[in-house]
Structure 1
Amino acid sequence: MLKTIRIDSRYKGPPTSGNGGYVCGLLGQAMMDAGYKGAVEASLKAPPPLETALTLTASPQEARLSLDDRLLGVATAVTLDLQVPAVPAPGDILPGPLNALEREGAFRPFGTCFVCGADRKPGDGLCIACHEVKDRPDVVATTWTPDASLARPGALTVDPVFLWSALDCPGYFACACGEPALLGRLTAEITGSLKVGEPVTVIGWNLGGEGRKRQCGTALVRADGTIVAKALGLWVIVDAALIAGAAA
């Protein structure tokens, strides 16, 4: 499969480039559309520009996103061995901002981000604002109810690309909150469908890191404990100025 796509400005992360989880989802879903079933490891090589003609190629084994001769992202078939921790009870999800964002000099994610941006509204962004969890300093969580704008064409279920998106930013808040970081890799497995208007708990947990790298897990879990999707994320600490001009 080979086609030309454009990333609508609605799906931005930094102001001029696509949200990392959304772009990884484009790669992963392209493999699914080509006949693959299973976990996908999607790696971002460069920030994908918005409203620009990009080339997406896919087979059941691999997908690639390119701008002319420049590789922006690649996805491959993998096996994902990731255990999801206990989902917090609603009463254990604390109100208010994360403490790490309150410290002096903390980096604040972009308000315009499709997934977590505080300036976005339902029907425009996902509005996933993670919170700390009582007595679990390495875990963040929130409740997310997908709206009708996220449905697959002609269906009442959420497009899997947006499930990938929802697995993105909660990982940042779990493992790199307050640091200038970009998503480098997202390894995800979609294990169920999610209906529009169906609430799920979004959970992120810290898996440690070394040097400039941070690792995390994320998951979308129904009230009955069914896992809809899960992912292993890799974030890379960068110069804050580079994020501001990520696609410049």
Structure 2
Amino acid sequence: MPEIRQLTVDGRFNGPDGSANGGYVCGSFARLCPAPVAVTLHAPPRLDRPLRAEVGGRRAHLWDGDQLIATAAPTEHRVGHVDPVSWEEAVRASGLYRGQVNHPYPRCFACGPDREPGDGLLLAPGPVPGRAATVACPWVPDEAAGTGEDGRVAAEFVWSVLDCPSGWTADLVAAPRVLGWMRAELETSPAPGDRCVVVGRLDTGDDHGFASTSVLYDSRGTALARATTRWYAP
């Protein structure tokens, strides 16, 4: 019999208005599972509402009443590699962030420009000159990202940081997309105040959606975490 757990996403951690940030809910759900998983989102997760997680079997399920919100399952997929960029390159790329104007979800917890410091992550992934289909931005964890018992950034916030930069490898202003599938591999988490760089690369895409890889690096260019994501029309 599966174990029943409860997951409630606080209203602050939204993506599109009225629903949870995809990376945050995927990471929160994955933390409830006994083994590493990939998470598929089937419907927008509502905020400030208790969701029922059934975990313990080969597949885990997240429900909102009778509606299936997400499925988590073990996967043999290995996340690929994206070369790092320097802090200075990431700062320059961030100045080219397409989402600064006409963002489809301007109050997104991770990448929305309408959030305040300490409230949102304020990621601004912009194109890296000379690197095809690659975006990057700097990130210094502050009080917007919660920490675990070890004092480092909690896993669900790392999933959030890997989520949105992978989405901005495509033009979300011209063709808005939402996260549909995510697999993350975490080596370690940064501590508050650590200088980090997030890099994302578009891998494949068509009119129906696209797949990307993102990597979180520390200031020495060491990969802390990485993810593969798949994005689809809302």
Residues 220 and 124 of structure 1: is their aligned pair in 2 closer, same or farther, counting only changes over 3 Å?
A: same
Q: Which residue of structure 1 lines up, in the alignment, with residue 96 of structure 2?
A: 97
Q: Which residue of structure 2 lines up, in the alignment, with residue 70 of structure 1?
A: 67
Which of 193, 196, 202 is the equivalent residue of 1:200?
Answer: 196
Residue by residue over 1:11-47, the C-alpha shift from the partner in whole angstroms, topping out at 9 and shown as x without a partner, is 011110001111111111111xx3x2x4x21110000
Report the CA distance between 1:169 and its aligned residue: 0.7
Which of 22, 26, 29 is the equivalent residue of 2:28?
Answer: 26
| Partner secondary structure for residue 25 of structure 2 | helix
Q: Which residue of structure 2 lines up, in the alignment, with residue 242 of structure 1?
A: none
Which of 117, 140, 144 is the equivalent residue of 1:122?
Answer: 117
Q: Which residue of structure 2 lines up, in the alignment, with residue 2 of structure 1?
A: 4
Residue by residue over 1:154-203, the C-alpha shift from the partner in whole angstroms, topping out at 9 and shown as x without a partner, is 43111101001111110111134321111111111112122121121101
Contact 1:5 1:56 in 2 (8 A): yes
Q: State how 1:67-216 maps to structure 2 within 5 Å.
A: 67-93=64-90, 94=92, 95-98=94-97, 108-178=103-173, 179-216=175-212
Residues 97 and 225 of structure 1: is their aligned pair in 2 closer, same or farther, counting only changes over 3 Å?
A: closer
Residue by residue over 1:87-131, the C-alpha shift from the partner in whole angstroms, topping out at 9 and shown as x without a partner, is 1223333353345987xxxx6231110000101122211111112
Which of 225, 228, 231 is the equivalent residue of 2:227?
Answer: 231
CA RMSD of aligned residues (A): 2.0
Residues 100 and 23 of structure 1: is their aligned pair in 2 closer, same or farther, counting only changes over 3 Å?
A: closer
Residues 67 and 99 of structure 1: is their aligned pair in 2 closer, same or farther, counting only changes over 3 Å?
A: closer
Q: Kindly report structure 1 stretches of 4+ aligned residues shifted beyond 4 Å.
A: 99-102
Contact 2:82 2:213 in 1 (8 A): no
TM-score normalized by the length of structure 1? 0.85
Q: Which residue of structure 2 lines up, in the alignment, with residue 243 of structure 1?
A: none
Residue by residue over 1:116-147, the C-alpha shift from the partner in whole angstroms, topping out at 9 and shown as x without a partner, is 01011222111111122121131100111111
User: Across the two proteins, how many residue pairs are aligned to each other?
Assistant: 229
Sequence identity of aligned pairs in percent? 30
Report the CA distance between 1:150 and its aligned residue: 2.4
Which one has a larger percent helix, Structure 1 or Structure 2?
Answer: 1
Q: Write the distance in 2 (CA, Å) between the matches of 1:79 and 1:191.
A: 17
Q: Write the distance in 1 (CA, Å) between the matches of 2:137 and 2:89.
A: 10
TM-score normalized by the length of structure 2? 0.89
Contact 1:176 1:235 in 2 (8 A): no
Report the CA distance between 1:210 and its aligned residue: 2.4
Contact 1:146 1:158 in 2 (8 A): yes
Q: Write the distance in 2 (CA, Å) between the matches of 1:62 and 1:227.
A: 29
Q: Which amino acid aligns with 1:13?
A: G
Report the CA distance between 1:149 and its aligned residue: 4.6
Q: Write the distance in 2 (CA, Å) between the matches of 1:25 and 1:11.
A: 12
Q: Which amino acid aligns with 1:45?
A: H
Contact 2:99 2:124 in 1 (8 A): no
Question: Mind listing any 5+ residue stretches in structure 1 that lack a counterpart?
Answer: 239-248
Q: Which residue of structure 1 lines up, in the alignment, with residue 38 of structure 2?
A: 41
Question: Mind listing any 5+ residue stretches in structure 2 that lack a counterpart?
Answer: none
Residues 216 and 51 of structure 1: is their aligned pair in 2 closer, same or farther, counting only changes over 3 Å?
A: same
Residues 100 and 66 of structure 1: is their aligned pair in 2 closer, same or farther, counting only changes over 3 Å?
A: closer
